[in-house]
Structure 1
């Protein structure tokens, strides 16, 4: 068992021992029977012994902490006969650790809430009946019943006409969202409407929510947020404390004044305020769908001045979308899409899935295709409502129709065309492209208003494709045709001017994410290398979550600094009053406890949005 674990186990007993000894000593003094000093000494020594063990342990690790001031105050109080003050300090110190533990639990509330929502069972259709199965038994293709209030156990497609989902636990959005048949649904959402059927796409271990849970568990295990970051100021504060205590003793000739200074100086505001504020900030971020893995990442995020973005899957959706239907005959645009999507129901290709989803979004009737024949990598043909339909690459369709050459291709950079023939005639083309995420222009304006001075693109796509996609967005620089190692070079070059945040989503982004001051991964599906390498994971596939991440980090840092400055400022005033003989040791101990409570409550403000 480690020292930290031993402290946690003994903490309730130390608090009870200290409180009982303090009260018993007060009773003995009030009764005038004597022995109060002995009781107070006995109440102090166990806490002091545990504190000394912790100090020795940290010194062996090469660390110098502010706990040394607390140990000095208790020791000095015992040496100079201020046993009541020593007992009060011991109780307040043990209570301060309990306060820190309470604040940590309160601050981690949103992160813990994510873990408690993990479903264990699923309701699966089996013929005409339903069966409850363990989550591990669910396989892709299984049809699941999602009842009102159920958490979606796996990623899947909506197999009913409509669903209303509460995404607040993942995105922070308070209002339920409406989804229509065929829509891809993310595990971890809650059914806020009528029961519906879900067609499983992944096993539970590979679904989005399972990835989120793993990342949260990793973040919970990291000790950086609760590390006493203010220990970096320990030496300076110790020198100031000893100087004031020595001056008070030397000028007055009264060692009790030095004891009072040490008691007031017990630096709980520094010890408690920073970690409590940091963990509160981490929890508030989790509520907004942002998992920040450590306090170090939160601190770094607060000082970001440059942003490097990947393109595919980050700046864009990462999936082809239908941007235009070009008619070339008598078949109207909507009918062209309907016939193509109906035929594509028989194909597992990504473009096929997109066309089917787009047709369903437009509420087009998709009959079952007949006589389907697919040529791998080329195209597919079949019959829809008795009509012969052929679609695929332009060259493939032209060859099947016996044309010497396909009609002129008007596709732009990054666009893909799917040619469609109906009843043996060239009927038109469906133009697809990976489009910008919705609201990118407004997001960029908000980022610049938030203090991001440089926004840079780093992509592996061809330069002409990259330039066409980002035209008009106002990037400071566009780097295209990059290998993963080249993206690292872009990040390092930007770091010369300030702290850099890199946002990406693919395996090829992982090295650059690790090289940045703050690496941000889009989404948390499965165990993607980008999510593992990143400091921050956006739990939902939305780039706009970067804005609240920056705001929360900066507000958290501001609150932490406010707590430290106010707490230490009040402590220094109390030390001066003690040095002048205006405060006795017991009053100093009580004053310090009031300061502790005030700074912790202020630090917990970081929980509020």
Structure 2
């Protein structure tokens, strides 16, 4: 039965039971005695009894044994004991609880459904001067596309114009638009938040980022919540316990109505209502924070993690050539020499030049236009900035300084035997600064490690194929527990398995060679902002933004969601247990018991919905590029 048909059936059964209850009271009041109220209430209850019986048999046939059986027993017993009013009230409460669960589940799934509903459906392709609108599926790699203001990007690509403003909030959770520049990567599913721009497609629709997200959402919505299996295990204990209490109440008092009251207050059980709602709410909340989970089983596994293993390149680090240190000459400031380097490097398009310009812009430095620029391939660049002749590049090009000043020599020696590039900057032939470029730690790496420790992670390990010196340079400031350097893909799998044998282990990686290690972990997280790689396919969770922050937030959300689910279940079972004792002692009648149980169910479902909000741990981040502490968006 489809989800929409099942929802319709639940609502129909609820309306029928409510109509039957009202009709049973109104017919005698109108003077009609043709239909006894008990007969009307019985007729209103029987459809639900039959439907529930069919559902239980079907579940039993596939090996599931749930607590719905208590509901069936209570309604059937009420009808057999001529307690038709109690039977119809139980029917209303059970059907009402199911409808309430559907509503809560639908609310929790709304964020996930919003992702699939906004899939790109068309593109505007430019062919010379001709513009044609085509289906997104028809876009080919290399096509030049036009994206107008407010439109969704149909495929992954690169920006052809000078700049663009991109709103990625629906995909990554980032609330503010990002300013992109020429040749920057663009991802499908994001929105043009500025003026019209041109882009070149680098992937077809089904291989673009957003298509991968949609596939994961579909997997998330069809996966069974792990807590449902736990609910089945609880049912094996709850059902016999309920029957024993009911039997003792009957034998002790000689009144079968007491046994009926016990069955009524145990039906329906919060286990089958609150836990799935909490888990779906947690998955939805994580998606809004930029972490897409492949089903709630991934969320529960994440909540139990005690060890985190990080890949280095592209995960703890930026995965490219970034500016990791500035060493100015005495009397000069970092901002001064960075502004000069950034101004000069605007005339170049190599990787280091782009990194230098980006670093200067991150500090909001005003760059000047360079003049008379000469670029020496593989050596550096020379030009005039603000009337001063600048040279940036190799030591030889910058003037062949020999020997190096003491302040510069210290910096060079510090990075001996490490895979970094040093750019020498001279003004009128005099060395004024050194710039070290390499694969530096992400700006939010330290804050992420601290947040993970606050959230119960006992051990944090780095796993990398790079040599130990490089690994220690990145790991040192982060305070990691252990570093495994020089690891091959096979060795990475071994390390993850060793850690997993000691404690539930989370692996965070980026790149094809991380896929086996991600699959070997208790739960794998892929840094998937750069597209649908093999690591994303192997992982249980994919981070949708180019940031580590959602990793810590996902752990926080997972732990909070699991705690809410347990809290709801245990509180519901505890309250039901107390009610069962009072019913066995004769203090609660069957009708009152049904109303009381519905109140318990409503309370635990409302509590479970708390998983939809809160649950993140956003701490101040030290931004190395800007040299200051900032709060994450």
TM-score (normalizing by structure 2)? 0.81
Alpha-carbon distance between aligned partners in 2 of 1:147 and 1:594, rounded to the nearest angstrom: 52
Aligned pairs for 1:166-245 (under 5 A) are 166-224=167-225, 227=228, 229-245=230-246
Matching residue within 426, 446, 452 for 2:451: 446
Structure 2: runs of 5 or more not aligned: 329-336, 385-390, 398-408, 615-633
Matched, 1:98 2:99: yes
Q: Is the 8 A contact 1:228 1:275 kept in 2?
A: no
Matching residue within 559, 577, 582 for 1:572: 577
Residue 488 of structure 2: aligned partner = 483
Q: Is the 8 A contact 2:269 2:573 kept in 1?
A: no
**1:17-67, CA deviations, whole angstroms, 9 ceiling, x for partnerless residues?**
333333333333444444322232222222222222222222233332111
Residue 56 of structure 2: aligned partner = 55
Q: Which moved more, 1:104-113 or 1:507-516?
A: 507-516
Matched, 1:415 2:419: yes
Alpha-carbon distance between aligned partners in 1 of 2:495 and 2:239, rounded to the nearest angstrom: 43
Alpha-carbon distance between aligned partners in 2 of 1:343 and 1:285, rounded to the nearest angstrom: 41
**1:529-584, CA deviations, whole angstroms, 9 ceiling, x for partnerless residues?**
21122111111121111111111111112221222122222222222222222222
* Distance change (3 Å), C-alpha of 1:337 and 1:258: closer
Alpha-carbon distance between aligned partners in 2 of 1:472 and 1:498, rounded to the nearest angstrom: 25
Residue 400 of structure 1: aligned partner = none
Q: Is the 8 A contact 1:154 1:187 kept in 2?
A: yes
RMSD: 3.9
Matched, 1:13 2:12: yes
TM-score (normalizing by structure 1)? 0.84
* Distance change (3 Å), C-alpha of 1:429 and 1:559: closer
Aligned pairs for 1:151-162 (under 5 A) are 151-162=152-163
Alpha-carbon distance between aligned partners in 2 of 1:98 and 1:130, rounded to the nearest angstrom: 50
Matched, 1:531 2:511: no
Matched, 1:115 2:116: yes
Aligned pairs for 1:95-494 (under 5 A) are 95-128=96-129, 130-224=131-225, 227=228, 229-323=230-324, 342=347, 344=349, 412-417=416-421, 432-494=437-499
Alpha-carbon distance between aligned partners in 2 of 1:210 and 1:369, rounded to the nearest angstrom: 44
Structure 1: runs of 5 or more not aligned: 398-407
Structure 1 residue 149, shift from structure 2 partner: 2.2
* Distance change (3 Å), C-alpha of 1:144 and 1:358: farther
Q: Is the 8 A contact 1:414 1:433 kept in 2?
A: no
**1:126-174, CA deviations, whole angstroms, 9 ceiling, x for partnerless residues?**
4445433322333445444433322233333444444333332233333
Alpha-carbon distance between aligned partners in 2 of 1:257 and 1:508, rounded to the nearest angstrom: 64
* Distance change (3 Å), C-alpha of 1:288 and 1:326: closer
Q: Is the 8 A contact 1:391 1:418 kept in 2?
A: no
* Distance change (3 Å), C-alpha of 1:226 and 1:549: same
Structure 1 residue 253, shift from structure 2 partner: 0.9
* Distance change (3 Å), C-alpha of 1:383 and 1:124: farther
User: How many equivalent residue pairs?
Assistant: 582
Matching residue within 554, 561, 564 for 2:566: 561
Structure 1 residue 366, shift from structure 2 partner: 8.5
* Distance change (3 Å), C-alpha of 1:420 and 1:251: closer
Matched, 1:23 2:22: yes
Matched, 1:596 2:595: no
Residue 87 of structure 1: aligned partner = 88
Alpha-carbon distance between aligned partners in 2 of 1:578 and 1:161, rounded to the nearest angstrom: 74
Alpha-carbon distance between aligned partners in 2 of 1:181 and 1:530, rounded to the nearest angstrom: 28
**1:501-556, CA deviations, whole angstroms, 9 ceiling, x for partnerless residues?**
11011222122212212211111544322112211111112111111111111111
